[in-house]
Structure formats: structure tokens, C-alpha cells
């Protein structure tokens, strides 16, 4: 990792030790559940990334494959074709760090070569056996997210999350990923019932004993619809409310579509808490 990108990596890690951080979502996909198809051109994706930064995000997360339920899988070559140019353009141009949202080691390796400093892996190092080694070799940050092949409503979801994290952390340690560069994500909306999503958010405090930063990604997800009126405004309000509930439980990083609203809400939250 080149020194300018190493500096951005370290600046981000220092931030999340002191305060909440906002990760802005940039999906360069045709089929993501909320913003699919909006930012597929270089001009559109660049403009949106700059808006995310202007609105106050601390890191931009670029994804080239939708992880929504029933999304069509794409090859590593196709995923790279979607993200390679935009990562190359944005990495030296933005004032914040870049993350790549992928579970493929080949895609992660190329994005890290181009200047990304973090890998947001929705399978927590457990899908691609080469991923942990790629992250370790680049001295990159990794987000380990809980996931499952399918829902199981009989599970105590936090117990399952902990089992998953324990396996992923063992893989990270074996590969030599520094613990200070690991972030945990309970995977809200991934292979969980609506009740399990609520339980995972309500019980985030049970993950504090890992001593690692916790990220949540609830932005505009469908389970919020059952808790609100279901219109776009309610979806945003529900997202902000869920993220503030997560903040109260100790979450430090919030992966969102709506950056400005969350920056403002978290500022008020922390002013009151202080």
C-alpha cells in the first residue's frame, strides 16, 4: 500500500477510535435494491462519490456486485470491469479513504492495488479462501460481516453471529491480519428474519467484548418497512432511527446511502450524550 493511501487508512482508524464514522455507499451495479443503475457511468459515479464526501462521509464504499437476495451473481472479471476505472480515478482524487465491497479475492487485490484501503466482505473471509491473505498482504482494513446461506428462524441470532465471527477472526489471525485493522458487522438484512434483524440491533452490546469496532448497514432495508409507513420518507426516517439505536448500543460505523442526514443526526446524538 502506497504511503498516501496508508495515511488515509490510518486516519480512518484513528477516527473510529474517537467518534462515529459514516461510510457512504457507491453502488456501480444495475441491480442493487435501492440505487441500482443510477451510478454505472464514470461521470455519474464520480459525481456521487464527491457528493458523499461533501456531505461528510469518512469513507466511500464501492460495490460492483449486488448482494441483495436473489441478485444475479457476476464473475470476478465482470465485477472488476464495473469498479476498476472508478477506483483508479477516485482513490487519488478524494480526501477520504476508499473501501471495496466484495467477497472475491481477485477483485479485492486489484482494488487495493489501485488505492482502496479496506475490504468490506459480506462473507467475512469465509467464501474465498484467498481473501484473508490478500487483506494481510496489503495491510488493509477488513470488515468481517456475518452471513448465512439461508435463514433459520429457530436460531438465537447473536449466538450464531458470535460463532461466525470466531471462525472469521481465526482465519484473520492465521493470515496475519492485524487486529487493529478489523471491523465487525452483524450483517443486518442478510439471511435473517425481521425479528432476528431487530434482535441483532437491540443486542449489539453483546458484541462489545470482542474489543473491535462495530459497523452496521441498515440503510433503506426492507425489514424497516414493517416498522414504518413504507414510503420513501419513512424508509429514511426508519434508517436514521435504527442507526441511532445502534449507536446507543456501541456501533461506531454506519454504512448509508443518505450521508448528510446521518452526519447531522449523529452530531445531535453525540452532543446530547456528551
Verify whether residue 174 is a known catalytic residue: no
Supply the pLDDT for residue 41: 82
User: Measured between alpha carbons, how far is 126 from 110 in angstroms, rounded to an integer?
Assistant: 19
Architecture of domain 3-273: Alpha-Beta Barrel (3.20)
From the list 174, 255, 267, 273, the catalytic residue is 255
Average pLDDT of each block of 10 consecutive residues along the chain (274 residues)? Answer: 96 96 92 52 90 98 82 88 94 96 98 98 98 98 97 97 98 98 97 95 97 95 64 74 96 97 97 93
Q: Which residues pair with 141 in a beta bridge?
A: 118
With DSSP H G I counted as helix, E B as strand and the rest as coil, what are the percentages for the chain, rounded to 5? 50, 15, 35
Task: Give the three cell numbers for residue 145.
Answer: 460481516
* Residues 221, 200 contacting (CB under 8 angstroms): no
User: Measured between alpha carbons, how far is 193 from 99 in angstroms, rounded to an integer?
Assistant: 28
Between CA 102 and CA 210, with CA 204 as vertex, the angle to 5 degrees is 75
From the list 9, 198, 221, 252, the catalytic residue is 221
Supply the pLDDT for residue 29: 81
Verify whether residue 252 is a known catalytic residue: no
User: Measured between alpha carbons, how far is 165 from 105 in angstroms, rounded to an integer?
Assistant: 19
Supply the pLDDT for residue 146: 98
Domain boundaries, the chain: 3-273
User: Measured between alpha carbons, how far is 192 from 150 in angstroms, rounded to an integer?
Assistant: 8
Supply the pLDDT for residue 90: 96
Helix runs in the chain, H state only: 3-18, 42-54, 76-93, 105-114, 131-138, 157-175, 194-202, 232-248, 259-273
Supply the pLDDT for residue 175: 98
Report helix, strand or coil for 63.
strand
User: Measured between alpha carbons, how far is 123 from 187 in angstroms, rounded to an integer?
Assistant: 9
**CA nearest 39: which of 75, 83, 94?**
83
User: Measured between alpha carbons, how far is 113 from 5 in angstroms, rounded to an integer?
Assistant: 10
Amino acid at each position: 500500500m502506497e504511503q498516501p493511501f496508508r495515511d488515509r487508512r490510518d486516519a480512518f482508524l484513528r477516527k473510529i477510535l474517537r467518534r462515529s464514522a459514516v461510510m457512504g455507499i457507491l453502488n456501480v451495479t444495475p441491480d442493487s435494491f435501492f440505487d441500482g443503475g443510477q451510478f454505472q457511468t464514470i461521470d455519474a459515479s464520480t459525481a456521487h462519490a464527491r457528493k458523499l464526501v461533501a456531505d461528510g462521509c469518512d469513507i466511500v464504499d464501492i460495490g460492483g456486485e449486488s448482494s441483495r437476495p436473489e441478485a444475479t451473481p457476476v464473475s470476478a472479471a465482470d465485477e472488476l470491469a464495473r469498479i476498476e476505472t472508478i477506483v483508479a480515478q477516485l482513490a487519488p482524487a478524494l480526501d477520504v479513504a476508499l473501501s471495496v465491497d466484495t467477497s472475491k479475492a481477485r477483485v479485492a487485490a486489484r482494488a487495493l492495488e489501485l488505492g482502496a484501503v479496506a475490504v468490506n466482505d459480506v462473507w467475512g473471509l469465509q467464501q474465498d479462501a484467498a481473501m484473508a491473505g490478500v487483506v494481510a498482504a496489503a495491510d488493509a482494513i477488513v470488515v468481517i460481516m456475518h452471513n448465512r446461506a439461508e435463514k433459520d428462524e429457530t436460531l438465537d441470532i447473536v449466538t450464531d453471529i458470535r460463532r461466525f465471527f470466531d471462525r472469521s477472526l481465526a482465519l484473520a489471525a492465521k493470515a496475519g491480519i492485524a487486529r487493529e485493522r478489523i471491523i465487525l458487522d452483524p450483517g443486518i438484512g442478510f439471511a435473517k428474519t425481521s425479528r432476528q434483524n431487530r434482535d441483532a440491533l437491540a443486542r449489539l452490546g453483546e458484541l462489545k467484548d470482542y474489543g473491535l469496532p462495530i459497523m452496521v448497514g441498515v440503510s433503506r432495508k426492507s425489514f424497516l418497512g414493517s416498522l414504518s409507513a413504507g414510503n420513501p420518507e419513512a424508509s429514511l426516517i426508519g434508517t436514521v432511527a435504527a442507526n441511532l439505536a445502534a449507536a446507543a448500543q456501541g456501533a461506531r460505523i454506519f454504512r448509508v446511502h443518505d450521508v448528510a442526514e446521518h452526519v447531522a443526526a449523529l452530531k445531535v446524538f453525540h452532543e446530547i450524550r456528551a
